[in-house]
A and B are shown apart, each in its own frame.
Chain A
């Protein structure tokens, strides 16, 4: 009797742990039919988004269980005897866990000790179940294929999900440098346990990375530390690697708690300097923004990302942030993706002003298994927050958090104006490339999509923002007549302002719902015919607002005149 969010993949798909590939596929398609949105069996049973969440999780389960590698990993996580499922899985790299990518990048950069690190990596990956030798060997043999790495996030989430949550974190990447990549990814994780690997990584990454990792590790206090550290390390690494290899950097930031959120922020800031590109400033500024704890995490993530994007030429930044506990973490992820998106879009949009808000194809997937229950809205809002914040530095005006729509994921329209899309919280949203990044927990970001990111994009973003701002400025409503600060707003002045605006009395009356008679009397300063001050004040405020004046100033001034005159009388 446990909620589906806590069920193992086998339980989810209602197959025995020994199920063959075909069985799993059959079960999956049967269940997809059963839980289709128009299926009668789920009608009025639960909320639609709960069904969506279930479907997403089932897809996730199917993807994991039908991938030989991932399944082995998962089984080990579950404590099932390791068994080799059919080996070569030709599955394209779909959801690439952030860590993994980072790992990849790392690997390519380092290129060193492939085999040795590989073995270690194998161990590391399996944290929960110390089944070391088996996996390692397996993995080693498996080098040619795809590397699956359990992202640190999985580790983190594991405790919540009851230990079997592994999936979210797992992602596989097909990297050019096959031998190195697989290993490196796990290595990250492993590093938590084995200090050595960490060292290796850090050294590879360069001093910057070292800093970051140190930072993060110190900040995060929980048991998750290793994981988060790893993630961060990878983060820091990403820029470097990216620039070097044009690989894809995907920083994963893990924020176990609110404290961790701070960490993330710190990390990001740390990072910024590393990626010394133009964008750095932006990133930094965005980091500043966060106020609330949750939003902090999100923003941190986004800011983290920015640098990556900027620095990495043609690299796609896909940061995933995991907040083990708070859903906000998820949001953070979303946010980060959002941001990446914005960058890329900006580029494509060129100078067009509105580009900023647009969302990138990368789908944020968010919810960790534990957090799965969290309403998407939450995430979305956070995400939007983040977006808001991140965009602020660039162009305050344009930043507008789109209303969160439950299901949509990411729509990228380079040229479109403001992004309506908000990152969709739904775990199931497919990323732009069509690879479904179903993973909730964290993971999966789609790498391959925005090939085009380049340093230019950062500049483009800035330019776009500027253009937007200037457009706004240019576009401002007709200039007012010069009104001295201490001007008395009598009827005459109000009339002049109105005429300058090009409004007729009728238009104003229509829009403000103030009766024509009152308006005329106001402009004619016929104080005695005006309604009592209480009402007059409202009328004046409305009118002033309509005319683009300061309501308080206008009403105070006019009322003063009115009482004066009528008093005299």
Chain B
């Protein structure tokens, strides 16, 4: 199943990689034995800036949905300081975690992968006890990023933590799909915008060497939030210096697409918040955001968490579960992957 399918879908991914973010570079020229096929076909990062908005719930259930549609899915709990994805999946305290991999050099990534009980869905649990688990060092982060890019799966889902630390953002922007979870409330929207801005500027920063726009990006980043220079401004300045470079830069920025998931929508109006946010974002920053759809507020989801089971398995017919399935199939549609009939 894999080879034929991965052929056609290869192209866009290659494009994305070719964007030349430093993080992806090393992998491209990675170990000789590691062919392209060894890499996950798609990386989905689930972030959102604010805590408690359902990132882990979305990640877990999305993983289940994708696994149920016949794909091999690897969930990674990249919420370094507050790992709990395993609980969402009912895995219990995992024996091996990410910190085993990061800290003890003995471990290969494969060694810390634990099964979840859902076919084709496996998990790398987050670091548990280490006091400084959240403070990933740069070298560790690079190692992790590289290794994750080399992981074998159809889909790699990264469950990110709250906040906009580089440790979070860097995982977010290396993904093919940056899922931005947002609740229809000001606090969450505010953080989501900040997260998205941070992601774009971080990406700019990573590209700055290439375009000689380092100082521009720096000044943009150090500006106060209120007067945060927009990407328009940055692009404009780059264009003045280097029209061709600006052209490419613009393309590359546009290629990085944030996809919105509105969680816990309680009213019909809430269902449209995603569209509104995407359109406001585009209006002011000129960058497209996709609205993947909303997940209704659902007591079933809450009950499922209490039971430590993904709602998709616990109550597959609940509104929340259906919404997640819709989101999963939209992602698959975007990737142009026909849902396999059989695993």
A residues near B, CB below 8 A? 1-4, 14, 34-35, 39-47, 50, 54
Given the known inter-chain contacts A1-B250, A45-B193, A47-B226, please indicate yes or no for A40 contacting B284, CB distance below 8 A. no
Residue-by-residue, is B215-237 near A (CB-CB < 8 Å gives 1, otherwise 0)? 00000000000110011100100
B280 contacts A42, C-beta separation under 8 Å: yes
In the complex, which residue of chain A has the Cβ closest to the Cβ of B235?
A1
| Least Cβ–Cβ distance between A31 and chain B, in angstroms | 8
Beyond A41-B280, A44-B190: 8 further Cβ-contacts under 8 Å? Answer: A1-B250, A34-B280, A35-B280, A41-B276, A41-B279, A43-B189, A46-B284, A54-B283
Is B162 part of the contact surface with A, judged by Cβ < 8 Å? no
| Least Cβ–Cβ distance between B53 and chain A, in angstroms | 14
Given the known inter-chain contacts A50-B284, A54-B283, please indicate yes or no for A41 contacting B277, CB distance below 8 A. yes
A40 contacts B283, C-beta separation under 8 Å: no
A4 contacts B276, C-beta separation under 8 Å: no
B232 contacts A2, C-beta separation under 8 Å: yes
Is B211 part of the contact surface with A, judged by Cβ < 8 Å? no
| Least Cβ–Cβ distance between B244 and chain A, in angstroms | 16
Is B114 part of the contact surface with A, judged by Cβ < 8 Å? no
Which B255-297 residues sit within 8 Å CB-CB of chain A? 273, 276-277, 279-281, 283-284, 286-287
In the complex, which residue of chain B has the Cβ closest to the Cβ of A33?
B276
Which residues of A sit under 8 angstroms from B280, Cβ to Cβ? 34-35, 39, 41-42, 45
Q: List 14 A-B contacts (CB under 8 A).
A: A3-B230, A3-B284, A3-B286, A4-B283, A35-B280, A39-B280, A40-B273, A40-B276, A41-B279, A42-B280, A45-B281, A45-B284, A47-B226, A54-B283
A41 contacts B194, C-beta separation under 8 Å: no
**B-side interface mostly:** helix
B227 contacts A3, C-beta separation under 8 Å: no
Which residues of B sit under 8 angstroms from A34, Cβ to Cβ? 276, 279-280
Which residues of B sit under 8 angstroms from A50, Cβ to Cβ? 284
| Least Cβ–Cβ distance between B186 and chain A, in angstroms | 5
Max chain B C-beta neighbours (<10 A), residue from A3, A4, A45: A45
Contact partner of A40 among B186, B226, B250, B286, CB < 8 A?
B186
Which residues of B sit under 8 angstroms from A2, Cβ to Cβ? 232, 286
Which residues of A sit under 8 angstroms from B226, Cβ to Cβ? 47
Q: In whole angstroms, how far apart are the Cα atoms of A41 and B193 in the complex?
A: 10
In the complex, which residue of chain A has the Cβ closest to the Cβ of B280?
A41
**A-side interface mostly:** loop
| Least Cβ–Cβ distance between A135 and chain B, in angstroms | 31
B193 contacts A44, C-beta separation under 8 Å: yes
Q: In whole angstroms, how far apart are the Cα atoms of A41 and B284 in the complex?
A: 12
Residue-by-residue, is B188-214 near A (CB-CB < 8 Å gives 1, otherwise 0)? 011001100000000000000000000
Max chain B C-beta neighbours (<10 A), residue from A3, A14, A39, A50: A3
Is B185 part of the contact surface with A, judged by Cβ < 8 Å? yes
Which residues of A sit under 8 angstroms from B231, Cβ to Cβ? 1
Which residues of A sit under 8 angstroms from B194, Cβ to Cβ? 44
Which residues of A sit under 8 angstroms from B186, Cβ to Cβ? 40, 43-44
Is B254 part of the contact surface with A, judged by Cβ < 8 Å? yes
Is B178 part of the contact surface with A, judged by Cβ < 8 Å? no
| Least Cβ–Cβ distance between A376 and chain B, in angstroms | 14
| Least Cβ–Cβ distance between A83 and chain B, in angstroms | 27
In the complex, which residue of chain B has the Cβ closest to the Cβ of A48?
B226
Q: In whole angstroms, how far apart are the Cα atoms of A40 and B277 in the complex?
A: 8
Is B63 part of the contact surface with A, judged by Cβ < 8 Å? no
Is B47 part of the contact surface with A, judged by Cβ < 8 Å? no
| Least Cβ–Cβ distance between A414 and chain B, in angstroms | 37
A47 contacts B283, C-beta separation under 8 Å: no
Which B64-84 residues sit within 8 Å CB-CB of chain A? none
Q: In whole angstroms, how far apart are the Cα atoms of A14 and B278 in the complex?
A: 13
Q: In whole angstroms, how far apart are the Cα atoms of A3 and B234 in the complex?
A: 12
Which residues of A sit under 8 angstroms from B281, Cβ to Cβ? 45
Which residues of B sit under 8 angstroms from A35, Cβ to Cβ? 280, 283
In the complex, which residue of chain A has the Cβ closest to the Cβ of B230?
A3
In the complex, which residue of chain A has the Cβ closest to the Cβ of B191?
A44
Q: In whole angstroms, how far apart are the Cα atoms of A3 and B232 in the complex?
A: 7
Give 7 nearest A-B pairs by CB, closest first: A41-B276, A44-B190, A1-B286, A41-B280, A43-B186, A41-B277, A3-B232
Which residues of B sit under 8 angstroms from A47, Cβ to Cβ? 226-227
Q: In whole angstroms, how far apart are the Cα atoms of A3 and B235 in the complex?
A: 11
Which residues of B sit under 8 angstroms from A43, Cβ to Cβ? 186, 189-190, 193
